[in-house]
Amino acid sequence: MMKKRVLLSLSMVCIAGLFFFGLPTGCSPAAQNTIKVGIVDTYTGPATTFTMDVQDGFKLAVNEINAKGGVLGKKIEFATRDEKFKPDIGLAMAKELVLNEKVDILMGTINSATALAVSDFAKKEKIPFFVTFSKSEKIIGEKGHQYVFNMNENTAMIGKAAAISLAKKPYVKYWIAGDDYEYGHAIAETLWNNLKKIKPQVQKAGESWWKVGESDFTPYITQILAAKPDFIIVATGGSGMVNFQKAAKATGLSQKIPFYQHTAIELSVLKPQEMNAPEGVFGTANYFFYYPDTPSNKAFVNEFKTAYNREPRIGALSGYMTAKFIAEGYKKAGKLDKEALIKALENMSLESPVGPMAIRGCDHQLELPMYFGVTAKNPKYGYLVAGDIQVIQAKDYMPTCEEVLKVRK
């Protein structure tokens, strides 16, 4: 009887432990015959809407590569870990992946603080780390090193791209508003500094900053309306994007004062609002499933839609291209060696669904195009899409190698 009870409580503890630490996927013992990639990302909470895109895009490319016999005769395998949007957990997970799962490559995450922590660890362990959704410019700037690769846009790029496009508009009196954390401030600051450089006559009418996750923007908007600026730069992210657009529509802001948000024209923001999203909002984004309307983009969209029953978004492209670069990098290196992989990837250019994309040699930043556009109705879709799209080429809006390397320590 006693033994039974001990056994019961022991098993209870085990089950509880499983729940506590999460059920890790891909627990297979490290085999020499595979290339192992460890993904650390946020799979709980609101960020999931973006991180699943990365994982699914990556999986799609990996399946393609493995179906063709893999890389250097080896299949690519991957394991995922949920960092719950917490840098300390993320770092522990990355360590666990390297020590227990013996992964060759790390990738992730949507949380910039986690990305920086994992990046630091990757540098010490000399393991290549591919950043798939974090937007901090510190990742390849201030805290950059030769083992980290940035596979998506960063705040420095966003700010510069938006400044280039907005400088062509007639607005002079700007109001700056945003999420009161690093992402918001970083975008607003680079945008403003670049805008002042290109168009010195711009003026700042005022600023408002709200807490991250603010749901009700009405009081902020009524205050900005009373100040009557020509244009508003809105540096929000996540669910704040939709919240702000809804409040802009309800208060009539979108009809009175034009404003800009990064990803305002993106599917993740516009699709949930269906036909109720405000028209005429300026935005930037790095990927649309409907633009450019080329056979290679259509093929990618079809493939992704068949596999996951939804349209791919920027994260999907980022995940997809990361897998392609890993595979082609090893092929070019000719051996499973991390240093050789890094050398091979520098300045490597690959065909992507939206045209050729290269990894810049000096700072390991993926050179991807940026699109500037405005929210507009389109009879083909049941939601608003990007209209009046202008392409900004990577070389025009990426900070120069000198600028990036100057801030590196």
Partner 1 sequence: MDAVYSIIPAGVFSQVFVGLSRTTILFIVASGLTLILGVLRIPNVAHGSLYMIGAFTAFSVTKLTGGGSEGFWLALVIAPLAVACISLIAERGMFQFLYEREHLMLLLLTFAISLIFGDLVKLVWGSEYKSVPVPHMFQGFVPLFGGLPFPLYNLFLLAAGPVVAILLWLLTNKTKMGKIARAAAVDREMVGAVGINVSRVFAIVFVIGCYLAGLGGVLVAPTVSVTLGMDHNLIMEAFLIVIMGGLGNIWGALLGALIFGLTQSLGILIWPKFGIIFPYLAVVAVLLFRPTGLLKSTW
Binding positions for partner 1, rule: CB under 8 A: 44-46, 48-49, 52, 177, 180, 206-211, 213-216, 218-220, 222-226, 239, 241-243, 246-247, 250-253, 256, 268-269, 271-274, 276
Distance CA 95, CA 117 (A): 11
Q: Which is nearer to partner 1, 133 or 220 (CB)?
A: 220
190: cis peptide before it, omega within 30°? no
Rounded (5°) CA angle 356-360-366: 60
Min dist CB 174 to partner 1, Å, is 14
Min dist CB 313 to partner 1, Å, is 10
Residues 6+ apart with CB under 8 A from 308: 56
Phi-psi region of 383 (alpha: psi -120 to 50; beta: other; left: phi over 0): beta
Min dist CB 51 to partner 1, Å, is 8
Residue closest to 121 by CA, chosen among 88, 152, 81, 151: 88
Residue/partner pairs of 218-227 with CB below 8 Å, 24 or more apart: 218/247, 218/250, 218/251, 220/177, 221/247, 221/248, 221/251, 221/253, 222/251, 224/175, 224/177, 224/253, 224/257, 225/251, 225/253, 225/256, 225/257, 227/175
Min dist CB 336 to partner 1, Å, is 35
Min dist CB 312 to partner 1, Å, is 14
Q: Which is nearer to partner 1, 220 or 288 (CB)?
A: 220
Q: Which is nearer to partner 1, 66 or 243 (CB)?
A: 243
Distance CA 267, CA 272 (A): 8
Q: Which is nearer to partner 1, 182 or 207 (CB)?
A: 207
Q: Which is nearer to partner 1, 223 or 390 (CB)?
A: 223
Min dist CB 326 to partner 1, Å, is 26
Rounded (5°) CA angle 241-158-37: 90
Q: Which is nearer to partner 1, 36 or 246 (CB)?
A: 246
Rg (CA), the chain: 22
Q: Label residues 147-177 b or e (16+ Cβ within 10 Å = b).
A: bbbbbbbbbbbbbbbbbbbbeeeebeebbbb
Min dist CB 364 to partner 1, Å, is 29
Min dist CB 166 to partner 1, Å, is 21
379: cis peptide before it, omega within 30°? no
Q: Which is nearer to partner 1, 63 or 251 (CB)?
A: 251
Q: Which is nearer to partner 1, 290 or 308 (CB)?
A: 308
